[in-house]
Structure 1
């Protein structure tokens, strides 16, 4: 059973006016005001229409800036309702939003990424004007969002890749670090995507395609049962929580915000599966699982099928990051672009001490912030 973090998948001429000589002055009738008034009304109408169009464009860009992980329904399930929204408004217009989870575990107040939620961070409504004006707007709105974040022992989020700096966080005492994911551009064609694969990746996909058939999994229940069976076969528990995963998978399939793909062997036996979700900008490789005896290229074949679907839909394909050299090596074989995702975090002194002590008492262990 592989999870996203530890899977070793393979987962638009000026005209010159003619010279004219002065003419003798002649008596002219008084100008009539109505045509000018009519032109003025037309100009005003154009201005109003232009302003409305600009406002609609801003609203559309703001909506597109929300990833699937920012959706209310997603956060309701992933946090079991334990989340809030920092909001900056001007009159009735929303200038920025930033959701955050908040839970208590023993003595700790924790605000981390919820299960299966890959990125969050601020979403800022765009403004027109110079680059300097846009930068000031982003800094101001982000700072006002940060001021609304709750006091807690440990805060950590990975920002959406579209957020290209975290200076507002750094100026307020947060530690900023770099994480990475691989992304394949939405303008890439299937032929270009195939040519980007390294030879080993192409070979394992070809080999798997000769033995396996890729098809949508009939029901979320089939996927979930397969996932849990593979966990039990490895004596492992669901790191995301079985109940949360079940609700999210059922909901994103029902809302047509995601799909489940399976690789089927002889006898129509499911041997590998992946879960994909998407928003208006990108498709994300979210989940994967395979049987121990499955073809070594089964997950690669499923990922390639996901890439084809993303290209057909005009979406970026996001490989969802990596946490080990082996996973980096595997994903690097798909020839996508290495893309930075910024992490922002801040921890209280007592929390840091507890983490240090735990690491010293249990070398090699990973400190669990919910302890």
Structure 2
């Protein structure tokens, strides 16, 4: 058990196992789950399927959305990765490659004809050759991960000194409470958005329904940090599948301790490692977030992005970026 200034970190219950996946989905993430996609897309998603002798050997979910000008298939809200899931075959490396290219190609042929298609692939997919061969642009995206076989002591030693110090400081002032109620988390999240004059980028209904669903299904938990007087000052939402725990959501009051989110993440890391789950910080979308997450000493891990856009869509996007230049890092890194 790791201690901070001789104080033992709060012990949380280990996350319950998720439901047994469909056999073909040998390595699905929580984001591939049917219930997740139903909520995240509000039912507007489809599944490309490849069968062999009436057996499903490959599948790939995708969402559809119609805007005023475009028909697009992008990642749904709060859905970090998707991509194909293919039943593996035995044999030589060449046979496996041929199988993956063949099945993925047949899945790609079923994808919709739209103005813009974009997905980030699960990090366990280490190549996107089939997509490149079918005219998609393949790009490198990144996340940080702590391997499931890491011990808590090893993880603590890998933190940089600044991160360790803010966690120590926060642990002296805050109490971490597991399993805060979804209603409390959502009210806290919305209040912090209002205080900053911001709206919910994920959509109020989608976020509320997903939070309620992953807590009810025991596929996630909500951790809260409470300060003086029992006031909630920071909270994070973590979700998991059979191989990884993902940092999905967080919110903090403007006057919260600067280490409040770091303390909650460290607590989540401990629970993931106890469960023998990889902890996935789930990407970053800005240099400041990269710097913050880099302090946890995790391994930088590549995730591949695949995209294909129509000519007019690309032209309009280029013009928009010239008029209003974006951030250095692209969304969904």
Q: Same fold (TM over 0.5)?
A: yes
| Equivalent position to 1:277, from 239, 242, 253 | 239
| Equivalent position to 1:250, from 212, 216, 220 | 212
Residues of 1 paired with 2:321 and 2:147: CA distance? 40
Q: Detail structure 1 runs of 4+ shifted over 6 Å in the superposition.
A: none
| Equivalent position to 1:89, from 29, 42, 51 | 51
**How far 1:365 sits from its partner (Å)?**
8.6
**How far 1:93 sits from its partner (Å)?**
1.5
Indicate how the Cα distance of structure 1 residues 106 and 365 shifts in structure 2: closer, same or farther if over 3 A, else same. farther
Residues of 2 paired with 1:363 and 1:182: CA distance? 26
Residue 161, structure 1, aligned to residue 137, structure 2: no
**Residue number in structure 2 paired with 1:315:** 277
What are the Cα deviations for residues 244-270 of structure 1, in whole angstroms up to 9, with x where unaligned?
Answer: 000000000000000000000011110
**How far 1:363 sits from its partner (Å)?**
4.6
| Equivalent position to 1:73, from 35, 38, 41 | 35
Residues of 1 paired with 2:289 and 2:205: CA distance? 27
- Tell me if structure 2 keeps the 8 A contact 1:217–1:223: no
Residues of 2 paired with 1:129 and 1:363: CA distance? 49
**Residue number in structure 2 paired with 1:287:** 249
Equivalent residues in 2 for 1:111-130 (5 A)?
111-130=73-92
**Residue number in structure 1 paired with 2:262:** 300
324-333 or 180-189, which moves further after superposition?
A: 324-333
- Tell me if structure 1 keeps the 8 A contact 2:26–2:86: no
- Tell me if structure 2 keeps the 8 A contact 1:96–1:124: yes
**Partner secondary structure for residue 80 of structure 1:** coil
Residues of 2 paired with 1:363 and 1:254: CA distance? 41
**How far 1:218 sits from its partner (Å)?**
2.9
**How far 1:349 sits from its partner (Å)?**
0.7
**How far 1:348 sits from its partner (Å)?**
0.3
Indicate how the Cα distance of structure 1 residues 364 and 91 shifts in structure 2: closer, same or farther if over 3 A, else same. closer
**Residue number in structure 2 paired with 1:39:** none
- Tell me if structure 1 keeps the 8 A contact 2:45–2:61: yes
**Partner secondary structure for residue 63 of structure 1:** coil
**How far 1:216 sits from its partner (Å)?**
1.6
Residues of 1 paired with 2:150 and 2:327: CA distance? 41
Q: Which runs of 5+ in 1 are unaligned?
A: 1-58
What are the Cα deviations for residues 5-47 of structure 1, in whole angstroms up to 9, with x where unaligned?
Answer: xxxxxxxxxxxxxxxxxxxxxxxxxxxxxxxxxxxxxxxxxxx
RMSD of Structure 2 on Structure 1 (CA): 1.8
| Equivalent position to 1:191, from 153, 158, 173 | 153
Residue 203, structure 1, aligned to residue 146, structure 2: no
Indicate how the Cα distance of structure 1 residues 151 and 129 shifts in structure 2: closer, same or farther if over 3 A, else same. same
**Partner secondary structure for residue 286 of structure 1:** strand
Which of the pair is proportionally richer in helix? 1
Residues of 2 paired with 1:102 and 1:70: CA distance? 15
**Partner secondary structure for residue 263 of structure 1:** strand
Equivalent residues in 2 for 1:21-170 (5 A)?
62-170=24-132
Indicate how the Cα distance of structure 1 residues 365 and 350 shifts in structure 2: closer, same or farther if over 3 A, else same. farther
Q: TM (normalized to structure 1)?
A: 0.81
- Tell me if structure 2 keeps the 8 A contact 1:271–1:291: yes
- Tell me if structure 1 keeps the 8 A contact 2:286–2:327: no
- Tell me if structure 2 keeps the 8 A contact 1:284–1:317: yes
Number of positions where the alignment pairs a residue of Structure 1 with one of Structure 2: 310
Q: Which runs of 5+ in 2 are unaligned?
A: 1-21
